[in-house]
Amino acid sequence: MSARFDFRIHARDGLARTGEIAMQRGTIRTPAFMPVGTAATVKGLRPAEVRATGADIILGNTYHLMLRPGAERIARLGGLHKFMGWERPILTDSGGYQVMSLSALTKRSEDGVAFASHLDGSRHMLSPERSIEIQRLLGSDIIMAFDELIALPASREAMAAAMQRSMRWAARSRAAFDSAPDHAGLAALFGIQQGGLDERLRAESASLLRGIGFDGYAIGGLAVGEGQEAMFGVLDYATGQLPEEAPRYLMGVGKPDDIVGAVLRGVDMFDCVLPTRSGRNGQAFTHDGPINLRNARFAEDEQPLDSDCHCPSCTGGVSRAYIHHLVKSGEMLGAMLMTEHNISFYQQLMQGLRSAISQSRLQAFAAEFLRRYKAREAS
């Protein structure tokens, strides 16, 4: 590891690890949850409010930012950090997932993916080289290799073909990243393991990625409809296929119980739109499970969202009844308070996991968290 990206594991408990990633714009404590700032904003919160929740790093999106306002424009305005007022590390995903999921018209080839914008139908081409260029223009601290994602379930032949193309694209992403030494000297590049639900394909992918060499390794192609049991089944072997000395990032995950299970299996980094999207739609995450504030039963509930949460709403006297009123009235403050609470809840969970690993009590922490979190679901 170099001074620009220094990952150090401080403690282990079973397969789980806790440590830190030191980068030029700050230190990232692991296990880490990255709030999603798709279009240069974590929806509903100012950057200082995101930081106050405990977030060390956020995620931006190549696809959305290339279409609006444009990577070149952001570069002219001083880069993504200055543009959005976030001074700490930013990870940008490659745009591949959004190309596949949002564009009605796509054409895949060895060169990349030609697609129509979901905004105005304009035609674009996203290749490994262009994806890396966009992320460099944004000034990303952690850049993701460009890969090909397919929905599950899929045939082994389809999973193998997508994995093998993704590995060829990973090598091209590495070359494109290294071709700009000024940025590469400050940033990090992560490769993405693919292979669907097939252990042999994932082993082959991991071997090829290790041969190319990356600062960190993501586990891709999950959280696409396969369900928690199947996802955990992959994680039971996938983390062990990746380098021990590098961080492991499970992309697009997830629910609090997903995160706990993944940390138990050795994952270090996570991102998901769930806490922000749920907050905008009236759902709050609590230690006693998720609750829907649209429900009439909260209309006169004077409790905070979660009596064990340390967010400004829960400690500042904001009641479930008030948030119910805001949500039902369509007031934007309701979405803002809910989003701040949800991201705070996720960050408090990550801090609890880090502390438990450091104290060699992760199994007990996880069991108690899951017992309480799932109690309402079981009743």
59: Cα separation from own chain's centroid = 7
From the number of C-beta atoms within 10 Å of its C-beta (0-12, 13-18, 19+), residue 48 rates as exposed
Catalytic pick among 13, 141, 268, 271: 271
Active site residue 288: no
CA-to-CA distance for 130 and 136, rounded, in angstroms?
Answer: 10
Three-state SS at 188: strand
Radius of gyration of the CA atoms of the chain, in A: 20
Structure tokens at 60: 């931006």
Catalytic pick among 13, 56, 93, 306: 93
> Which position has the token pair 């082994």?
156
In 20-127, where does DSSP find H-type helix? Answer: 47-52, 62-67, 71-76, 80-84, 96-102
Active site residue 271: yes
Which sign does the torsion angle of CA 29, 54, 328, 293 carry? positive
37: Cα separation from own chain's centroid = 10
CA-to-CA distance for 161 and 197, rounded, in angstroms?
Answer: 14
> What is the set of active-site residues?
93, 271
